[in-house]
A and B are shown apart, each in its own frame.
Chain A
């Protein structure tokens, strides 16, 4: 359908953005890439009075390495992340996940910040960010706040963003030689929202996994971690026996919502299949290094 009528403004500064947000409150929507917002408006599921286009704020479109962290600005597009040498080096998990996001035309417009702020539990970026133990940087009139990704996503499409705040970027701990990461998802068609997806970020000492982060998408109302299963994996060699124990634990730990064609049991099962595959790959990779 055609979108309902609204006003449109493109402020020049963050201060202007916050002023507008204070003035319009719930009647305003932030427009960055618009790939989610416009689809929502085109289905007339929402009726805002004004769109605040923040894409003039070029400060928010940088990818930078800062001490120990990779900073990704909110306005960085998915395509920019996909082709960034800095991302490839310091946060290769994102480079692995990027090609799964929708299709090229969407990736050219859609933004990192937009995806984080929307918090779709089936999306790739929120899942990767929680797996990486990243931090979301938000800002409002009162200044900047940093929120751990694992605290940021709270409920279905509900984040820690307070009224008058926007996501301005995020910080991701840079990968070191001892880190291993992988991303995989199962989607009916390339680019669809996945039925199940897994991001693994592990820190190794030889073939012993000191810490394993499991980020899951499509398993709940938010992008999930699996702390009980992660605890079982910590300090272990990821051999077949360990992986089986982890699979049983993950099955018990997950309580997925069914979707139109996949029941909870199927989703649970698929999550364990992904975990088996990625952890086996991690082990094989570390074992190969050790030779």
Chain B
């Protein structure tokens, strides 16, 4: 019963072919099988958001998703996002606002914020707070994170208007 299955999945733009146990969480797969340690484990209940990764362009909880479910999918982690530069402006804004302290929640926060930037380009501050409330941070108290996301929204809005 602990036999493995072969999956073919594109991770951060690279096609991977791996043997995994069906029970392996997607987040454990990227961390342990692929060495992508940027996605973190905080609860394994699906509540804290530290494991948030992207599958086929949408954020999911890496602890509530099985690696075998991502057969044929495109998975992106914080490493891929950072290398591609998709959210360089957001990441710069995080640094500028010190919207991270211990950094453990940060990759999940960036992932969640990215989907907001893409799907809610006109979000208000209150809407940003609500959207980000799926990611737990114990260090920052959230104010600086909300500032960073709002700053990025405003900058992107300005660019669109120009």
Contacts and interface: CB of A to CB of B under 8 A. Distances in A.
Would A and B touch once assembled, by the CB under 8 A criterion? yes
B58 A34 contact: no
B2 to A, nearest CB: 5
Contacts, number: 93
A2 B64 contact: no
Most buried by B among A39, A49, A102: A39
Interface in B6-60: 21-23, 25, 28, 44-46, 49, 52, 58-60
Contacts of B23: 2-6, 41
Contacts of B115: 104
B59 A105 contact: yes
A190 interface: yes
A53 B134 contact: no
B134 A5 contact: no
Main secondary structure on chain B at its contact with chain A? Answer: mixed
A39 B61 CA distance: 11
A249 to B, nearest CB: 34
Interface string B65-83: 1101101000000000000
Nearest to B130: A190
Contacts of A55: 69
B155 to A, nearest CB: 22
Contact of B22 (A51, A79, A189, A190): A51
B49 to A, nearest CB: 7
B59 A35 contact: no
B61 A106 contact: yes
B142 interface: no
Contact of B59 (A31, A38, A53, A108): A108
A191 interface: yes
A5 B1 contact: yes
A42 B21 contact: no
A43 B88 CA distance: 36
B63 interface: yes
Contact of B25 (A2, A53, A102, A108): A2
Contacts of A8: 5, 22, 66, 68
A109 B45 contact: no
Contacts of B49: 103, 105
A189 B5 contact: no
Interface string A102-116: 111110110000000
B28 to A, nearest CB: 7
Interface string B115-132: 110000000000000110
10 contacts: A2-B25, A7-B22, A10-B71, A31-B69, A38-B65, A41-B23, A42-B45, A42-B46, A104-B115, A106-B46
Given A34-B64, A42-B25, A109-B64, 17 more contacts: A3-B23, A6-B1, A7-B3, A7-B22, A8-B68, A34-B66, A35-B46, A35-B64, A39-B46, A42-B45, A53-B69, A103-B134, A104-B116, A106-B64, A108-B59, A189-B133, A191-B133
